[in-house]
Chain A
Amino acid sequence: MTMTIQTKPKLAVWKFASCDGCQLTLLDCEDELLDIVGAIDIAYFPEATRREIGGPYDLSLVEGSVTTAHDARRIKEIRAQSGTLVSIGACATAGGIQALKNFADVDEYIAIVYAHPEYIDTLANSTAIADHVEVDLELRGCPISKHQLIEVIDAFLHGRRPNTPNHSVCVECKMRGVRCIMVAGGTPCMGPVTHAGCGAICPAYNRGCFGCFGPSADPNIDSLRDIWQGLGMDDPDLVHALRTFNTYAPEFKEASEKYDG
């Protein structure tokens, strides 16, 4: 019995600038949580436990974006003590919604929110984990999908590649049997350029996709722009749609700069 405990791989969950939603996803795996902790030793996960076991860690899940000089150093220390490092969620994979400040003057932003700017320590840009260290896998989403998180942990435990397809939300609509709300319903939708993973929730709720999972592989944003214009959506609308949770994902960033009149 003791042998089994000693050989369980060690999991660490790290937080950078974020809303905590992606790490909460692990605690939201109500049906699987006890099996997960049976198979993997939760060695560091402060949101869930006071217990802290030192590194190295076999699997590190990293949530949040890098926004301070201290955090830029901390992610390097975490990389050094992690076997496999997976960045989870839009903050960790693209800088998150807080990367909207990358388009602005950060001092002006500080002055808007805080009375004493001199108390605030922040970098000019909010950046993805992969901008600082080598990342073994990026799990997209704002928030990540519970099923994909379980898939990643299961794949890690079995030494196989996780199945997290990079096609667009359109494919998920077809799989779910949802009628196209843009072509058939006239509702502007980011689905054609957005990375799969959510299971096409918004179209199933009669809402256009708004891009939580960031750009899909080779997104054709120019073509999306043509369709949107036909629906009365001008460039400022498209720029707003591109500048949300994945605003600094390269494909969304470039297109939003291109069409920002």
Chain B
Amino acid sequence: MTAESSTREINVDYLARVEGEGAMYLKLDGDEIIDLQFAIFEPPRFYEAFLRGRKPSEAPDITSRICGICPIAYQMSSINAMEFAADVEVHPQIRALRRMLYAGEWIESHTLHVYMLHAPDFLGYESAIELAADLPEVVTHALRLKKLGNTVMTLLGGREIHPINMRVGGFYRTPTQSELDTLVEELEWALGMSEETVRLVSGFEFPDFEMPYEFVALHHPDEYAITDGRIISSEGLDIDVSEWTEHFEEIHVEHSNALHCRLRERGTYHVGPMARFTLNHDQLTPRARAIADEVGLAKGERNPFKSIIVRSVEIVLACEEILRLIDEYERPPEPWITVESTDSVGHGASEAPRGILYHRYEIDPGGLIADAKIVPPTSQNQSSIEADLREFVGPRTQMEDEKLKWQLEQAIRNYDPCISCATHFLDLTVERVN
């Protein structure tokens, strides 16, 4: 920024507290936004290409490597697709175990984001490490809650990152009732602590900001959708997962190694906890609903900064659901069933912590993968993030550079963007003219 130049410039080279590498570029002339781009520079890894020629049974282990934060989401969506292609349905208790494992991933991922990646913004700390120096009890409790998510994943999945136990057709090994019962005491503690988390974060200061999002989420008739469901939206979309391609399209834009996903009819849409909370509000578990009501979080909330409250409510829900499913558990007769298909197409979707994750596979006559398509939640939210940034900057162009930069980073972190997933993302640059 110089006196002669009419350009005002702010730079953040590498967005912190997100998963992966991404950047933002903002150019301002006085109060006018000249250009705004949200870019993903995480290098491409070409999963969809090297899945070709692999066996359907390999897809869960291969695609889980797209993301170390939400590997279960990748495993689940690919498994759904392969079971769809073979037209098989697994035992209800296998489905229950998958929901428990997935809820464990929600607890781990949401707690990581709420306390370690997002809360420091609201409290004015660079990181949870500095936060720990002033509020050690908060961070200790956060780590214990996060650890519980990992304990659930380790028991049911074999390990926290890239679990090994879930497979097409079921699990390699199902747990005994007494193994699951070892989780109960800590889950009951976590249920209380996650309610405290909702109370804590709902006391943060939120910018006055709302967006007219079209929410898109999975919906299941019997439960708050996690592992599977139909795709519905706040504008009346209600389709089977197999109808994805007819309603959604991916666009490759120059500034990003991630593909932007749009609704063919209406463009930008929003997936993730806020979408799920509004669209599946009737299916909140009793204590999740009670704590949301207590802190005044209502169906239809469209302030993205309040996503931190929604994530915390979903931790409550995840703990309640695991406890319920342990209580109702009966070890299934077989850990897995054989799933085979040839010359078929499989579609699968599940609710990753950040939103819908869609997979589609074509299986060739020899039973190998001929084509793969993977649409992660951050690709779907990328247009929504850019729209938020534009709208947020509008009335705040006079804000001092450092403060504006931090708030824009925070606006991006509202989405808990997973850039490793979307690459196929953050360096933040604000350039000012005047």
Interface residues of A (CB under 8 A from B): 15-22, 24-25, 27-28, 30-31, 33-34, 37, 42, 46-51, 67-68, 71, 96-98, 100-101, 104, 108-110, 112-116, 119-120, 122, 126, 142-143, 146, 198, 201-202, 204-207, 210, 212, 240, 244-245
Q: Quick one: given A19-B65, A21-B69, A205-B172, are A37 and B129 in contact (CB under 8 Å)?
A: yes
Q: Complex formed: what's the CA distance from A261 to B144 in Å?
A: 51
Q: Quick one: given A101-B49, A207-B165, A244-B61, are A201 and B68 in contact (CB under 8 Å)?
A: no
Interface residues of B (CB under 8 A from A): 14-21, 42-50, 52, 54-55, 58, 61-62, 65-69, 71, 112, 116-117, 120, 126-130, 132, 136, 139-140, 143-144, 146-147, 150, 158-162, 164-165, 167, 172-173, 251-254, 257, 259, 335, 406, 409, 420, 424
Q: How many A-B residue pairs have CB under 8 A?
A: 183
Which of A34, A108, A109 is within 8 Å of B140, CB to CB?
Answer: A34
* CB–CB A28/B116 < 8 A: no
Q: Complex formed: what's the CA distance from A208 to B117 in Å?
A: 36
Q: How far is the CB of B149 from chain A (nearest CB, A)?
A: 10
Could you list 23 A-B pairs, sorted by A, with CB under 8 Å?
A15-B20, A17-B45, A19-B67, A19-B420, A22-B68, A24-B19, A27-B112, A34-B139, A48-B127, A48-B128, A50-B406, A51-B130, A67-B43, A104-B49, A114-B44, A119-B253, A122-B44, A126-B45, A143-B161, A198-B159, A201-B159, A204-B158, A245-B65
Report A-chain residues with C-beta under 8 Å of the C-beta of B71: 21
Which of B68, B144, B159, B252 is within 8 Å of A116, CB to CB?
Answer: B252
Report B-chain residues with C-beta under 8 Å of the C-beta of A113: 44, 46-49, 424
Q: How far is the CB of B432 from chain A (nearest CB, A)?
A: 21
Report B-chain residues with C-beta under 8 Å of the C-beta of A110: 44, 46
Q: Complex formed: what's the CA distance from A245 to B144 in Å?
A: 31
Report A-chain residues with C-beta under 8 Å of the C-beta of B62: 97, 244
Further 4 A-B residue pairs, CB within 8 A, beyond A48-B17, A244-B58: A19-B66, A48-B129, A201-B159, A207-B172
Q: Quick one: given A19-B68, A20-B20, A48-B116, are A30 and B150 in contact (CB under 8 Å)?
A: yes
Q: Quick one: given A20-B20, A24-B68, A109-B50, are A116 and B140 in contact (CB under 8 Å)?
A: no
The 8 closest A-B pairs by CB, nearest first: A21-B68, A49-B127, A30-B147, A109-B49, A51-B126, A100-B50, A207-B172, A98-B45
Report B-chain residues with C-beta under 8 Å of the C-beta of A51: 126-127, 130
